[in-house]
Amino acid sequence: MSLLQRVTSNEILSPERGRSPTSSHSPRDRKLSFSPLPGSWVAPAVEENVQAIGAFEVPKSKRIREFFFPDSFVRVGGDIRCANTDGASPTVQVGAAVIYCLFAAGIVFGYAAIKPVLIREHVYRNLCTKEELEEGVRTCYDQEIHLNLMFTVAAVGTNVAALPIGAILDTLGPRVCGIIGSFLLAIGAVLFAFASEAKFDAYIPGYLFLALGGPFVFISSFQLSNTFPKHSGLILALLTGAFDSSSAVFLIYRMIYQWSNGSFWPKKFFLAYLIVPVLILIVQILLMPKASYKTVGELVKQVEDVDTNYDDQVDEQTALLQDERRQDRQSVVSEITDLLGSKSGGTQIQQEERKMAISGVWGAMHGKTVTQQILSPWFLLITLFTVIQMTRINFFVATIRPQYEYLLSSYDKAVEINTFFDVALPLGGILSIPFIGLVLDNTSTFFVLSALVTIATAIGVLGCLPYTWAAYANISLFVLYRPFYYTAVSDYSAKVFGFRTFGTVYGLIICLAGLFNFSQSGLDALLHKVFHGDPLPVNLILLGSALVVGIALCVFVGVKAYSFERLGLENEAEDASEVIMPGAESPDRSILKAYVLTLHDLKIPTLIGVNPNERLAKQLVVATIKIDGVERPCPSHFYHVLEQIVVKTIEESSFQTLEALAMHVGERIVKYFVLPFCSCSGIDPQITISLEKPTAVTFADAPVVEITLET
């Protein structure tokens, strides 16, 4: 099974150029040796005599072909992993990344845990009025606003920073990203440590630098999932779990602070925390790779590009030479295939196609320009929903204690609820990981969005009830909902807008949502000044706006999904015809129904013809493909898959005759479409290929040819 048949949600690999290798092997065919020792694997240079054949006059010269493949892989025990030319082993790198992400990736989201410490240390207490101090309030209005503003600025910075971090990562590599992150974390820790002695407000910039440093070290670690492609999901889960758990750093510090009765004050903690960025810097320099690990798709392309450099086109004159090259390449690709596990390509493709079909809206905006996507209701509605939900989430994190102090009329109960939240927040992110994947892979986008709106509404209602049980239920739902919500938004963006524009579109959604988080300061003012600490009005405003936008989003997506399904059925009905298979009319035979899948008049440029004048430039070939005997109506995106196979095959081919080209197209359709998608018991699909060359030279070639293949 060829690796190139695999399709993943993040990467679609096009089929391998040329025919699959036969069972016979060239004497030069060698198995790529996976050695843990340093050095590259270079096959011996081979001399190839290229003779003039037929109408072509190829120079009679010797061409030296070196099949060079960098040692991008090594075998460790029974496992295959990507190799790197610098740094430590990938196992050590992944372990180190998980550890430093645990201490640095998202510590600022533990704000609810460190806020009581800052209040006890009288941070921003100097902003309180004389009357407030005389009343002995725990936190005055200006103090509360500035503390929450510190978290708001950090949350906005984290979201907005994703855009430049991606550009820096692509340009300078993960090591530079990690080093920048370590410096930002160090600056933030120093500012926070000496903020009480500084002559300016160092708390807000200090917390902001801590927030910016986290994404630099976290996002730059994503590429480590390519070290062991078989286990990439596990590696990403570990990194994501470390990010969610990092909010517990401030919880642990608060527990130590309370245990020491305040003697381990913030200056001591943040000076001690400087160990973390120092260790990250050392790890980045000594252990981490300078360049990102390649994905499996990039590695395969690297193998294929070797032959591309020698103008490796499919034609009748050089078929023998190419077949030997192809066998060399297949030897390498077969080893790369081991990286992905034991699933067959057909099974993998069918699983991904099933996910696409389940979604209901997959590909809704694929192929559109970024401007068209951004101006569409698909983007506007999800952005509005994300803005409101992110504001709700961060507002709740920042104000959980004063909210429940008012609702439960008890400071001690509010502290108890706050402590439960501090513990549940990192745990919820970890516990929800497997369930999120199951929901997103096995339910429609409409169902996912409906679940988001329903759970968000339930959280909003529970947040308005003045009962202890409601508080615990609210927090339990909240900590599970938060990672589900963020993951669902990215999943929606990938399915609707596609991966070609994913970075721009998803980055813009998160960036806009982050910027609108500044409205949290206005909500704080409403909570404390207008409603005198009563959270009900603000919560109801957020609940109502989220419900209205959420319903609008669900209705829009539901209507579109229904229309897509209807359109697909109509297309299938138009293109399908019922066929009674031979022998079915016999009373002792069951009737087998089959369908016809047809592509009409595809105009594709290719090199075709015997006359040298015809081969000076590509000519348009008009192709019509009919597959007769498909077991069931094909989903609409199957037509797109078949069209891609036909177009790519003809564009990259070079034949003298239409007959030879048609046979080659038929072989590719059988291998990459019929076998993975259309094979079934009792029916053998029949392929009819019609090719026309409107610009054919008189007497040089038949302008039209039609062949039929039995599978």
Is residue 687 in a domain?
yes
For the cut 60, the answer to whether the pLDDT of residue 308 exceeds it is: no
pLDDT for position 587: 47
pLDDT for position 369: 84
List the structure tokens of 521.
């300061």
Element (H or E) spanning 411, and its range? helix 411-431
Tell me which range, 33-42, 277-286, 425-434, 482-491, is most confidently predicted by mean pLDDT: 277-286
Per DSSP (E only), the strands in 514-657 are: 579-580, 593-608, 619-630, 654-655
531 and 409 both lie in a single domain: yes
Is residue 100 in a domain?
yes
For the cut 90, the answer to whether the pLDDT of residue 432 exceeds it is: no
443 and 590 both lie in a single domain: no
Q: Which amino acid is at 177?
A: C
pLDDT for position 584: 47
For the cut 60, the answer to whether the pLDDT of residue 578 exceeds it is: no
Residue of 189, 176, 178, 187 lying closest to 221 (CA atoms): 178
In sign, the C-alpha dihedral spanning 273, 274, 277, 282 is: negative
d(CA 193, CA 268): 7
φ, ψ for residue 68, nearest 5 deg? -105, 125
d(CA 77, CA 34): 11
* Structure confidence by residue, pLDDT tens digits, 362-421: 777 877 888 888 999 999 999 999 999 999 998 998 889 889 999 998 988 998 998 899
Is residue 81 in a domain?
yes
569 and 601 both lie in a single domain: no
Instruction: Write b or e for each residue in 16-41: b if 16 or more Cβ atoms lie within 10 A of its Cβ, otherwise e.
Output: bbbeebeeeeeeeebebebeeeeeeb
Is residue 422 in a domain?
yes
570 and 662 both lie in a single domain: no
* Structure confidence by residue, pLDDT tens digits, 197-228: 888 889 999 999 999 998 888 878 877 766 77
284 and 139 both lie in a single domain: yes
Is residue 61 in a domain?
no
626 and 689 both lie in a single domain: yes
Helix (H, G, I), strand (E, B) or coil at 28: coil
* Structure confidence by residue, pLDDT tens digits, 325-350: 555 555 555 555 555 454 444 455 55
Question: Are 661 and 651 spatial neighbours (Cβ–Cβ below 8 Å)?
Answer: no
pLDDT, mean of residues 107-113 = 87
Is residue 337 in a domain?
no
pLDDT for position 235: 74
Mean of the per-residue pLDDT values for the chain? Answer: 74
For the cut 70, the answer to whether the pLDDT of residue 674 exceeds it is: yes
127 and 269 both lie in a single domain: yes
pLDDT, mean of residues 21-33 = 37
* Structure confidence by residue, pLDDT tens digits, 126-165: 888 888 888 877 888 888 888 988 988 998 888 888 778 7
Q: What phi-psi label fits residue 686: left (phi over 0), alpha (psi between -120 and 50 degrees) or beta?
A: beta
Domain CATH code at residue 600? 3.30.1130.10
What domain range is 702 assigned to? 579-710
Greater pLDDT, 605 or 576: 605
Q: Count the domains in the chain.
A: 3
pLDDT for position 80: 47
d(CA 72, CA 67): 14
190 and 275 both lie in a single domain: yes
pLDDT for position 139: 82
Element (H or E) spanning 261, and its range? none
Domain CATH code at residue 194? 1.20.1250.20
> CB count, 10 Å around CB of 630?
22
pLDDT, mean of residues 503-510 = 78
145 and 278 both lie in a single domain: yes
pLDDT for position 379: 93
Residue of 671, 89, 655 lying closest to 322 (CA atoms): 655
For the cut 60, the answer to whether the pLDDT of residue 685 exceeds it is: yes
pTM of the model: 0.61
Helix (H, G, I), strand (E, B) or coil at 74: strand
HSE, side-chain direction, 13 A CA sphere, residue 412: 0
d(CA 66, CA 443): 49
pLDDT for position 67: 36
544 and 594 both lie in a single domain: no
pLDDT for position 468: 94
Question: Are 104 and 217 spatial neighbours (Cβ–Cβ below 8 Å)?
Answer: yes
Percent of the chain at pLDDT > 70 equals 68
396 and 272 both lie in a single domain: no
Is residue 526 in a domain?
yes
Domain CATH code at residue 535? 1.20.1250
Is residue 14 in a domain?
no
> CB count, 10 Å around CB of 514?
23
Greater pLDDT, 359 or 301: 359
543 and 598 both lie in a single domain: no
* Structure confidence by residue, pLDDT tens digits, 448-486: 999 999 999 999 999 999 999 999 999 999 999 988 888
